Structures are given as C-alpha cells and as structure tokens.
C-alpha cells in the first residue's frame, strides 16, 4: 500500500494508530458523558436557537412587516442569510464528492463532519425562503407542482425561484443519502461495540444489518463513486441556480453572466472557512488531533486562498466589464454605489475579508498556526456574509428609478432570526458529535497505511520492523 506513495507525501494520520485504536478514538466521544465544555456550548447554541425561533414566531404572527424591508429593498437579511447558509453547505459536498473524484486522500478525516455541516447549513438556509413567504402554510401550494384545486393551474417552471425549490430539495436529499450511505459501515462498528442493549438496538436498526461482507463492499464502493459523480454537478448546480435567482433579472449588479461560477467559487470559499472554524474546535474538544492533522487544516487553508482568489477575480471582472460595457447603470452600481455609496463600508468589509485577508495563507507559518487559521476562517465567514448583503441590498436600494431609492435597516427580529440559525446550526452539530462518529472510521482505516514510512520502502532490510504493530504481535501470540 505505502510503497507506491512518493516520499514527499505526508502520512494522513499521525501517531501510527492501529485499526482498533481508530475505532476507539472516534467512538469514545459518543460513549462517554459529555464534558462541561460541550454542555456550555450546547446550552449557548440552544439559547440562540430558542431566541431565533421566538423571533420567527413573532414574525409569523405579526407578518413580514416586522422586518426592515420596504418596497424598494424587498430582499434583505432573509435572502442574504439564505444564500450565506446554502453557500456554507457547499464545502461538505466538495470534500465528500469532488475531492473523492480527484483522489485527494486527505479528505477522509474531514468528510463526515463537513457533510454533516452541509445538511445543517441547508436546513438553516431553507428556513428563510419559507418564512419570507409570510404565510408559509401556503408555501407548498405555490411552489410544489401537484394537481391542485386552482383548476389545472401549475407552478411556473420558467421561474428561477421554482428551479431553486428543486435544486435545494434535491441537494438536501442527495446530500443526506450520501452522508447516510457513508455512515452505514461506521454505524455497524458502533453497533458491534455497543455496551448496552438499547444502544445495540438503535445502531443495529440504523446500520441496516451491515456485516462487512466484501460482496457488499463492492456494491458499496460503486455506489459511493456514483453518488460522488452525481453530487459533483449537483453542488455546482445549486449555487448556479441560486445565482440565477438574481442573474436572470435585469437589475444592474445582478444581471451578469459570471454569476454562476462566481457564486460557486464563493460558496466553496465560505464553506471551507466554516469547516475550518468547526474542525479546529472539534478536533481539540474531541482530542482527535492526530486524525484531523495540521496537514488537513493546511490543505483547507490552501483551498480557501485559491477560491478567495477566484472570488477576487470575479469582483475585478465585474468592475472591468461594468466600465467596458459603457452602460450607465452598470457603471453606477459598481463605481458610484457599491464602492463609494452609502453601503461602501459593507463593500470594503467584503473586499478586505475576502480578497485581502486570505493572502496571509501564502505563508506556511500562517497555514500551520491554529490561531491564525481560526481567526482568518472567521474573517472569511464575515466577509462572505457581507458579499451577499452587498450584492442584494446595494443593487436593490438604488435601481433604475431614483424616486424610489431607499435605505434598508434590519430590525431586531431579523438579527435575532440570524442568530437563531447559528443556534440551530451549532445545536445540530453538537448533537451530531454526540451520537454519530465524527470521522469516517472505515475510510480513515483504509488510508492508514498511506505514506507511512514502512521499512520496506527504505533501504533497510524489511525483516527489521521499527515498531511491530499490535495486530502483528497478536498474530504471533496466536501462533505461539
């Protein structure tokens, strides 16, 4: 296994753990009582969640008028948060699908938690279009195509908002299924080591009777590959269609053809920042630093830099073409409003956080410093939230008709709702770390030997093993 890896490769897992140690270490957090740190975090997240849902209840009871929206700015925090959360989700699918197809083996330690993050982020995102309907109990009626009582009147499939319903629900479904398929063998591991009957029962039902059979593994691996193949264009399509919510319009600053790839790059950028934030905490709290190593964090920092550059390139291209087009409206939006208008502070926050800040990751020292990584991952999260805010609000608040220009001031209801989605996100993630293996046990075991310095690959005679693995020792015991 290892002899075909280049000597430049770093081992993916440090400390040379055995297979059993990996099962133990990943399952340990699920099997012990939660720590006080977990409880603190959980109670904080839960309070935020309760506050947010109270705000949503207040808004649903009183109407969308409790938000700061007005006739001119009809989309504000709601759609900003929606796009922000959907974007966060993209990193999970990128890690689980695209990096899998590109055989980036380092993904194995982080894919499970990143996929979980995807699901929770999409849930958070889905809240916003839903509550934006004002009376969401009619929602299904308006957006889902089914024979109904309005005669044969159907949803309008030419509307990007309907595309979005399909995109988001497909994305959530396929991500959930992909995640669950990945979990099956690990759930069987948890089942087989369960100490109590209840645990055994629950994980027994969830693991669907997985036996580790190689006949099943053959199908399983094929399905994993197929789902990765399906998820790759799917993840591109989701933010593409989100971008089309804006770009099919004739609104200056929204209608621009680079939106689809630019939104996708931005989504990956923000998603990786969120994965980095979460994993830096998770690996510390669960003490799995040798499974999610500095190399993993460094690789994520590199992807953040790369996607940050793409986003920066898109910002630049928009400005270049806005000037080149000679269109007064385009020129106004970019030069007179975004960069220098009343929301310029938001615009320059975005530029500093998304384009300038990630440049720090050119330095290896920065990429391997936990504190620097953590700080800049937060900065990027802030920057990407502001990107959506800038796109949505600055285009709307001053469009073609100067007499209806207006400013947008979000209310406490909107701030609390945003806080609430963070509460929901962290509550779900914290629960996840308690009940499911946060690292893909089976996949990490499969890459355990990757690039490990076996004596065989050096010039030493292979009979001399530096460290006999416990498994090998047991074989000898069994024979002795």
List the interface residues with another protein, window 144-163 (CB under 8 A). Answer: 145, 151-160, 162-163
Query: Rule CB under 8 A: which of 261-320 touch another protein?
Result: 261, 306, 309-310, 313-314, 316-318, 320
d(CA 462, CA 478): 22
Interface with another protein includes 468 (CB under 8 A)?
no
CB of 401 or CB of 478, closer to another protein: 478
Within positions 356 to 395, which residues make up the interface with another protein, using CB under 8 A?
Answer: none
15 forms part of the interface with another protein (CB under 8 A): no
Instruction: Return all residues near 290 (Cβ < 8 A) that are at least 6 apart.
Output: 13, 14, 15, 17
Give the x/- contact pattern for another protein in 322-361, rule: CB under 8 A.
--xxxx----------------------------------
Q: Is residue 261 within 8 Å of residue 241, measured between CB atoms? A: no
User: Which residue lies nearer to another protein by CB, 55 or 107?
Assistant: 107
CB of 214 to another protein, least distance (A): 4
Strand partners of residue 150:
152
Candidates 53-61, 251-259, 373-381, 395-403; binding stretch for another protein (CB under 8 A): 251-259
Quote the least distance from Cβ 29 to another protein, whole Å: 17
Q: Strand, helix or coil at 352? A: helix
221 lies in the binding site for another protein (CB under 8 A): yes
Selected from 18, 54, 70, 352, the binder of another protein by CB under 8 A is 18
Q: Which of 33, 61, 402, 461 binds another protein (CB under 8 A)?
A: 461
Nearer CB in complex with another protein: 126/174? 174
Closest CA to 91 of 261, 253, 271: 271
Among the listed residues 28, 37, 218, 370, the single contact to another protein using CB under 8 A: 218
Q: From CA 380, how far away is CA 304, in angstroms rounded?
A: 9
DSSP lists the bridge partners of residue 152 as 150
Pick left, alpha or beta for residue 15 (phi over 0 → left; psi -120 to 50 → alpha; otherwise beta).
left
Taking the least distance from each CB to another protein, the nearer of 76 and 312 is 312
Segment contacting another protein by CB under 8 A, of 32-40, 382-390, 407-415, 444-452: 444-452
Per-residue DSSP letters for 294-348?
Answer: HHHHHHHHHHHHHHHHHHHHHHHHHHHHHHHH--HHHHIIIIIIITTSTTHHHHH
Distance CA 111, CA 440 (A): 7
State the minimum distance, in angstroms, from the CB of residue 447 to another protein.
9
Q: How far is the CB of 170 from another protein (least distance, A)?
A: 4
∠ CA 206-207-210, nearest 5°, is 160
* 435 forms part of the interface with another protein (CB under 8 A): no
Would you say 455 and 207 are in contact if contact means Cβ atoms under 8 Å apart?
A: no
Cα separation values, 181 from 96, 178, 193, Å? 12, 5, 20
Toward another protein, which CB reaches closer, 77 or 263?
263
Instruction: Among 234, 268, 276, 392, indicate the residue that binds another protein (CB under 8 A).
Output: 234
Under rule CB under 8 A, residue 260 binds another protein: yes
Nearest residue to 421 (alpha-carbon basis) of 78, 137, 9: 78
- Report if residue 256 touches another protein, rule: CB under 8 A: yes
One residue of 70, 130, 255, 419 binding another protein per CB under 8 A: 255
- Name which of residues 95 to 134 contact another protein (CB under 8 A): 101-104
Q: Is 459 in the site for another protein (CB under 8 A)?
A: yes
Residues that bind another protein (rule: CB under 8 A) add up to a total of 120
**Taking the C-alpha atoms of 130, 73, 86 and 168 in order, what is their torsion angle to the nearest 10 degrees?**
50
SS3 377: helix
What CA–CA distances, in Å, run from 229 to 121, 169, 175, 476? Answer: 22, 18, 12, 43
Distance of CA 364 to the CA centre of its chain: 24
**Dist. CA 382–CA 402, nearest whole Å:** 30
With respect to another protein, which residue has the nearer C-beta, 208 or 435? 208
Using the minimum distance from each CB to another protein, give the nearer residue, 430 or 441. 441
Using the rule CB under 8 A, which residue among 173, 404, 409, 465 binds another protein? Answer: 173
Task: Please state the closest distance from residue 186 (CB atom) to another protein, in A.
Answer: 9
Site track for another protein across 174-213, x = CB under 8 A = x--xx--x--xx--xx-xxx----------xxx-xxxxxx
Which of 64, 133, 230, 378 binds another protein (CB under 8 A)? It is: 230
Q: Do 380 and 269 form a contact (C-beta atoms < 8 A)?
A: yes
**Closest distance of CB 44 from another protein, Å:** 34
Sign, Cα dihedral of 56, 62, 68, 74: positive
């Amino acid at each position: 296994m290892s002899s075909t890896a280049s000597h430049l490769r770093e081992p993916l897992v440090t400390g040379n753990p055995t297979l059993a140690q990996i099962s133990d270490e990943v399952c340990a957090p699920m099997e012990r009582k939660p720590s006080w740190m977990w409880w603190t975090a959980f109670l904080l997240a839960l309070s935020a969640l309760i506050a947010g849902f109270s705000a949503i209840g207040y808004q649903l009871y009183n109407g969308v008028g409790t938000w700061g929206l007005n006739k001119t700015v009809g989309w504000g925090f709601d759609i900003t948060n929606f796009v922000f959360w959907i974007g966060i989700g993209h990193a999970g699918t990128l890690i689980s699908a695209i990096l899998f197809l590109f055989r980036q083996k380092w993904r194995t330690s982080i894919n499970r938690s990143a996929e979980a993050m995807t699901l929770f982020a999409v849930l958070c995102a889905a809240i916003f279009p839903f509550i934006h309907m004002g009376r969401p109990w009619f929602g299904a009626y308006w957006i889902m195509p089914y024979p109904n009582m309005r005669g044969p009147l159907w949803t309008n499939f030419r509307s990007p908002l309907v595309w979005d319903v399909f995109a988001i629900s497909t994305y959530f479904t396929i991500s959930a299924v992909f995640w669950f398929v990945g979990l099956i063998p690990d759930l069987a591991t948890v089942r087989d080591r369960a100490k109590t009957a209840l645990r055994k029962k629950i994980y027994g039902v969830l693991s669907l009777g997985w036996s580790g059979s190689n006949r099943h593994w053959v199908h399983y691996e094929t399905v994993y590959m197929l789902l990765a193949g399906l998820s790759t264009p799917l993840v591109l399509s989701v933010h593409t269609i989100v971008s089309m919510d804006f770009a099919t319009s004739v609104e200056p600053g929204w209608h621009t053809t680079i939106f689809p790839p630019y939104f996708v790059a931005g989504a990956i950028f923000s998603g990786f920042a969120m994965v980095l934030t979460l994993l830096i905490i998770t690996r510390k709290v669960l003490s799995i630093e040798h499974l999610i190593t500095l190399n993993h964090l460094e690789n994520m920092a590199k992807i953040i830099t790369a996607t940050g550059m793409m986003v920066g390139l898109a910002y630049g291209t928009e400005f270049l073409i806005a000037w080149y087009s000679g269109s007064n409206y385009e020129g106004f939006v970019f030069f007179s409003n975004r960069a220098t208008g009343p929301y310029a502070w938001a615009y320059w926050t975005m530029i500093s956080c998304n384009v300038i800040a990630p440049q720090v990751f050119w330095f290896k020292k920065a990429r391997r410093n936990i504190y620097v990584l953590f700080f800049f991952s937060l900065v990027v999260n802030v920057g990407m939230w502001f990107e959506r805010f800038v796109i949505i609000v600055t285009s709307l608040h001053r469009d073609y008709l100067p007499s209806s220009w207006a400013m947008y001031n979000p209310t406490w209801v909107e701030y609390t709702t945003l806080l609430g989605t963070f509460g929901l996100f962290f509550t779900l993630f914290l629960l996840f770390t308690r009940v499911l293996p946060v690292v893909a046990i089976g996949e990490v075991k499969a890459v355990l030997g990757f690039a490990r310095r076996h004596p065989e690959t050096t010039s030493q005679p292979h009979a001399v093993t530096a460290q006999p693995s416990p498994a090998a020792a047991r074989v000898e015991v069994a024979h002795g």
